[in-house]
Every structure is written in structure tokens, then in C-alpha cells.
Amino acid sequence: NAGVTQTPKFRVLKTGQSMTLLCAQDMNHEYMYWYRQDPGMGLRLIHYSVGEGTTAKGEVPDGYNVSRLKKQNFLLGLESAAPSQTSVYFCASSYFSGSAETQYFGPGTRLLVL
Amino acid sequence: AQSVAQPEDQVNVAEGNPLTVKCTYSVSGNPYLFWYVQYPNRGLQFLLKYITGDNLVKGSYGFEAEFNKSQTSFHLKKPSALVSDSALYFCAVRDLGGKLIFGQGTELSVKP
């Protein structure tokens, strides 16, 4: 049981390049989330998904797109990377978003945009 | 709007001493509160949560948290700190839509 995995672990991009971050979970969770973590700002929600084929915007969605074609995978895309997107990205999943459902986090992807 | 605040960027404690990491919250309705820990270069790990009932919640690794409704606080505590407890700690509250809102994090440093 791998839990939540993220690919890649680290990436360097030039401004304007595109890339896709992959998140996979093997816990049969319905809900999946993408966060970014920046110093002094905690974690901020980018996009989330409440089930296969559905996505929704979080707190900071601009410059990102997502897709949930399969229940176990949640992709985060950067169409044209900007230095402001330099961050650590975390994926998380949970069974649902009920009263106090625990979210399980992946190990993170460090992205540097030059 | 739901929010959490962690008033201390860093907390320093000596090994063996008790530790407290502070969190205050602002919610509409009943709060669902969480503590997560992040070790260097790792993802967040769940420590404990408060849903309802007993104000003292026990979690992983000997941590506990005290829910105080009148002070709108949910402070994380441990009776005797270990060097291995050094990490970044996040408080979070569930918002009305079911998503988590995180505090900015508190770096705990435990010295031998």
C-alpha cells in the first residue's frame, strides 16, 4: 500500500515552459486535492476533485489546470510556468469531505521556475 | 469565513521539557480542527483531530491537543519533548465546504 505518491520529486523549468505533475493514490479515495506550500503561508488549496471526472477551483487556481480522468490519479498542469509558481506542491486524498475526514498527503514535488 | 492562526513562527524547547504549539481559530458553527506535522523534505502527516466530545484529544507520538471553546483555541501539547519532535506543525480547520484551511505553520525546535 503506497498511499499517495507524486511524480516527479523535483523539477526545474524555464519561464513559459509547461509541465504536468502526477498524483496517484491506492486507497480508493473519492476526494483529491492539490496544494502549494510557500514559506510563511502554510498550504493553500489550488484545485480539488470530489470524484472521477470532476474538478473545482480552490483558493489559488490561476495559472493551473487539473484533470481527474481516473479515480486514482489527479494531474496538475502548468501551461506556461512563471517564477511565481516556484513552490513545493503537495497532493492529498481523502474518502470524502465529511465532518472530520483525514487527508493523506504525498511527499511533495519541488518546482523551481527560472 | 473560517480561519486559523498560529501566532508563533518558531518555538524552541529543551529536550524533556513540556511543549506547546499554539493555534486559534475562527469558524461559523462547530469547529472541526486538525494538527498535522511535516518532517524535513516530507509530506504532511496527520497527528490528531477534534470533532466533538472530550476537550482533550490524544494523538500520535504522544501528542495531545486541548480544545477551548471560550478562547477559540486548539493548542498542541506534549509533556516531554524529544529531539525527534523537531518539525513544522500545522493547525487546520474544516471549512463549510469540507475543505481544510491551514495555518501558516510553526517550526518546533527541540534541543538536547
Contact check, Cβ <8 Å, B99/A41: no
Rounded to a whole number, what is the distance in Å from the CA of B44 to chain A's nearest CA?
Answer: 6
What confidence score (pLDDT) does residue A100 get?
A: 61
Is the confidence at residue A99, as pLDDT, over 60?
no
> Number of H helices and number of E strands within chain B?
0, 12
Mean pLDDT across the stretch B50-79?
94
Q: Which three cell numbers stand for residue A101?
A: 475526514
- Calculate mean pLDDT across residues B99-112: 94
**Hey, what's the cell of B4?**
486559523
In this prediction, residue B96 carries a pLDDT of 76
The neighbour count for residue A111, using CB atoms within 10 Å, is: 20
Whole-number mean pLDDT of chain A? 93
Task: Work out the minimum CA distance from B2 to partner chain A, whole angstroms.
Answer: 13
Averaged pLDDT of chain B = 93
CB atoms A42 and B100 under 8 Å: no
Average pLDDT estimate for B10-19: 97
Chain A residues in contact with B94 (beta carbon < 8 A): 97, 99-100
Nearest to B61 by CA among B90, B41, B32, B82: B82
Residue A108 to residue B43, Cβ atoms within 8 A: yes
Q: Do B103 and A42 touch (CB under 8 A)?
A: yes
- Structure confidence at residue B40 (pLDDT): 87
Tally the C-alpha atoms within 13 A of residue B49's C-alpha that lie toward its C-beta: 16
Q: Mark residue A49 as left, alpha or beta (left: phi above 0; alpha: psi -120 to 50; beta: remaining).
A: beta
Q: State mean pLDDT over A62-73.
A: 96
Mean per-residue pLDDT, A81-104: 87
